[in-house]
Amino acid sequence: MRYRRILLKLSGEALMGRLSYGIDPEVVQGIAREIAEIVAGGVQTAIVVGGGNIFRGVKGAAAGMDRATADYIGMLATVMNAMTLQDALEQIGVATRVQTAISMQEVAEPYIRRRAMRHLEKGRVVIFAAGSGNPFFTTDTTAALRAAEIDAEVVFKATKVDGVYDADPKLNPTARRFESLNYNHVLRHGLQVMDGTAITLCQENNIPIVVFDLSVAGNICRAVQGEPIGTIVGGYCEIK
């Protein structure tokens, strides 16, 4: 494997599979098997999972909810996803810990940086849930923050598309997919990689971001092995 310690960002929508809502157990089991493979290869693996398959704070706010309240509900949705992924991993023998940014000691550990790093050193997968614990921040920003805190070498953003495009490929068949980008280009052109706060955090801490398609079986392993399967964003990357 190319990397020693990684942070994998999973969107909540990725857990739905072809469902319109909720969690597809077969999809979660497939993700767990791929994570187990990279862990067996010696990669220390941390995960941040979103909650958009259950509740998205921004949508709740757009529907008239108080934004902070909506965001807190979204954080709770990420805990449900994290516990589901934990169960799938432990069913196949992968030691896992869920750490939450909002205290709920009956079901998960509180987020403690040193404890998280110790779990990783022992080969346990650490799943960070409840976002950063603060409203108005996305789980993308949480992924960048946690990656910096635990000294991850890279952030892998697993999505439903095979990289970053200059336009929506679903709406524009001539949209161009980038192989590599630098942070400044992403920020200047507002490309849909991660939100601006997350990109800036990665830039300031020199953490590359790799965007790839999670729906293709084996892509997590390919990404960790360094295969060019998506788009890489970094400080020294050429735009191509």
Residues comprising the binding site?
Answer: 9-12, 51-52, 56, 71, 132-139, 159, 165, 168
Q: Is the pLDDT of residue 1 over 70?
A: no
pLDDT confidence band for 222 (50 / 70 / 90): very high
pLDDT confidence band for 7 (50 / 70 / 90): very high
Helix axes 196-204, 139-149, angle to 10 degrees: 10
Secondary structure (3-state) at 205: coil
Cβ partners under 8 Å of residue 68, min gap 6: 135, 136
Q: Is the pLDDT of residue 151 over 80?
A: yes
Domain 5-234 of CATH type 3.30.470.20: no
Residues comprising the binding site for ATP?
Answer: 9-12, 52, 56, 159, 165, 168
Q: Which amino acid is at 212?
A: F
**What tokens does 36 get?**
């187990």
**What tokens does 131 get?**
């976002």
Cβ partners under 8 Å of residue 120, min gap 6: 5, 44, 45, 46, 126, 150
**What tokens does 108 get?**
């998960």
Q: Where are the domains of the chain?
A: 5-234
> Which whole number is the average pLDDT over 130-142?
96
Phi/psi of residue 19, nearest 5 degrees: -75, 160
In this predicted structure, what is the pLDDT of residue 227?
Answer: 92
pLDDT confidence band for 211 (50 / 70 / 90): very high
Cβ partners under 8 Å of residue 3, min gap 6: 43, 153, 154, 224, 226
In this predicted structure, what is the pLDDT of residue 240?
Answer: 66
pLDDT tens track for 52-90 = 999 987 777 778 899 999 999 999 999 999 999 999 999
Residues comprising the binding site for UMP?
Answer: 51, 71, 132-139
Q: Is the pLDDT of residue 156 over 70?
A: yes
